[in-house]
Structure 1
Amino acid sequence: MAIQTTPTTSETAAASQDAGPSGTARGGEVLLEVRDVVKAFGGLHAVDHCSFDVRRGTITGLIGPNGAGKTTMFNNITGFITPDSGTIRYRGQDITGLRPDQIFASGLCRTFQIPREHGTMSVLENLMLVPMRQKGENIWNAWFHGAEVRRQEEQNRDKALEVLGYLELTHVRDEYAGNLSGGQKKLLELGRTLMTGPELVLLDEPAAGVNRTLLKRLTSNIEYLSRERGITFLLIEHDMNMVMSLCDPVIVMSEGRKLVEGSPDEVRNNQSVLEAYLGGQYAAAEG
């Protein structure tokens, strides 16, 4: 979808609402719209009439305490569960209730808090498995169109090797994925999303279980992909140093609802956020 050069009145108003302190809107057009989404499990409303936007070109942070509804919201967006009510739009299209594979095929991908690699396959094979509608998946193509199957496999292999080189994982390409460290598995998860050519990537706690060296590389990769390849990110994270240095805007959820949205400085200096979610660490630093 091309970015409109002449916004409508409603788009101008929305951009004004999302403007930073300088009055300049963060990011471009709205890529993901979450509107009044509700998801309950029994009597517990994990997501309770929650609404927010993710604009093209941003790295948007989604924070809040355990139980705030962040991962449930990710599951609603990516089709792993269906909202009880509300709508979710991606690139202007209603994706509410679509299957995960349908949403994945549209260019919206996610990673998981606990990586879901195929442990008994090599790192390279994990990446080559990702592209959809591979000709070799059909036994008739393998028998009667072998040349086309081999050509596509070579293309997927070349792309996978390119991704591994970018992520600095080439040295473990033939290693079983299950033998990787926690940080390497997080990089592999990111690599799997890159095999699809995504527009929007949802990252679920990318810093969890990652040592500081690999975390620095992961953060640099996210920044590069956003800046140079135009990929938009929405990430859940409890590492506040990572969020405050990487994300703009930052959305805070509480009890299933959006509590606050703003720049890192605005969120960092919001009293309710300081008291409830940041444990005073930034307030203490500024005091």
Structure 2
Amino acid sequence: MLEVKQLVKEFGGLRAVDGVSFTLRANTITGLIGPNGAGKTTLFNTIAGVHRPTSGDISFLGRRIDGLAPHRIFHEGLVRTFQIPRPFAEMTVLENCMLVPPRQAGERFWNNWFSRPQVRAEERACRDRAQEVLAFVGLSPLAGEYAKNLSGGQQKLLELARVLMADPKLVLLDEPGAGVNPTLLVTIMDKLHELNARGITFLIIEHNMDLIMTLCDPILVMAQGKLILEGSPTTVRSDPGVLDAYLGGVPE
């Protein structure tokens, strides 16, 4: 589904991503781990089009996407979330979801005058879809609440709901467990499992090792901008290089 070849991203004299290559298979949940500063978020941003790669290739579903603008990559079905959720704070939970689907007729102001039946029909369908998605993530009771009033964990669920409104093929999740209480974390993990069973592929950055080891296979490990290992949870957990780079050394 996603193929990254010898990807390099430099900022001045800093090489944040240094010759990274990997392939994601469809219908998998892949983890991406590494110490702070390893280059994980820069890798995400480069895949999603926020950064233009210095060199290397990125292909999604057989098509080169490196260098494309983020909105064009989004329309291809590759969607990302952020470590710190970014909802529209002064809009309701339902409105945040309804805003996502692209190319809505009502976005062109003249359609609201000359194509009112089409605009109304699309808006009804969008509202119905948003309500279904909010029910799936468990936020239906908060549909009319302003996004700014949600807890951190609830905002993570809203972020997931907004992603689902885009009908993605591949989702890049940036620390879905950060700042989430244990109960909501279990909910998020269950939802990711269910969505994966429906055919959505995930690549997840996460520092919560319990989440990664439970949810992900394979796991990619980065350190100092390089990909140092790719393997199963069992392989990663026992690899001396990973223990040294990420966990502080091999236990005695």
Band the TM-score falls in, shorter-chain normalisation: over 0.9
Q: TM-score, normalised by structure 2?
A: 0.98
**Residue matched to 1:233:** 202
Runs of 4+, deviation exceeding 3 Å: none
**Residue matched to 1:270:** 239
Counterparts of 1:278 and 1:215, CA distance in 2? 22
Counterparts of 1:275 and 1:80, CA distance in 2? 31
What is the aligned counterpart of 1:255 among 224, 232, 238? Answer: 224
Q: Does 1:95 align with 2:65?
A: yes
**Would you say how many aligned residue pairs link Structure 1 and Structure 2?**
252
> Deviation of residue 276 (structure 1)?
2.1
Counterparts of 2:24 and 2:82, CA distance in 1? 19
What is the aligned counterpart of 2:185 among 202, 205, 215? Answer: 215
> Deviation of residue 123 (structure 1)?
0.1
Gap regions ≥5 residues in structure 1: 1-30
Counterparts of 1:40 and 1:275, CA distance in 2? 25
> Deviation of residue 88 (structure 1)?
0.3
Counterparts of 1:193 and 1:169, CA distance in 2? 14
In 2, are the aligned partners of 1:110 and 1:193 still within 8 Å (CA)?
yes
Q: Does 1:137 align with 2:107?
A: yes
Q: Which has the higher contact order (CA 8 A, sep 6+)?
A: 2
> Deviation of residue 274 (structure 1)?
1.5
Q: Name the SS for the 1:273 alignment partner.
A: helix
> Deviation of residue 279 (structure 1)?
4.0
- Equivalent AA in structure 2 for residue 190 of structure 1: L
In 2, are the aligned partners of 1:128 and 1:157 still within 8 Å (CA)?
yes
Identity %: 58
> Deviation of residue 275 (structure 1)?
2.2
Counterparts of 2:127 and 2:52, CA distance in 1? 35
Gap regions ≥5 residues in structure 2: none
Q: Does 1:243 align with 2:212?
A: yes
**Residue matched to 1:64:** 34
What is the aligned counterpart of 1:146 among 116, 120, 123? Answer: 116
**RMSD of the alignment, in Å?**
1.0
Counterparts of 1:278 and 1:187, CA distance in 2? 29
**Residue matched to 2:6:** 36
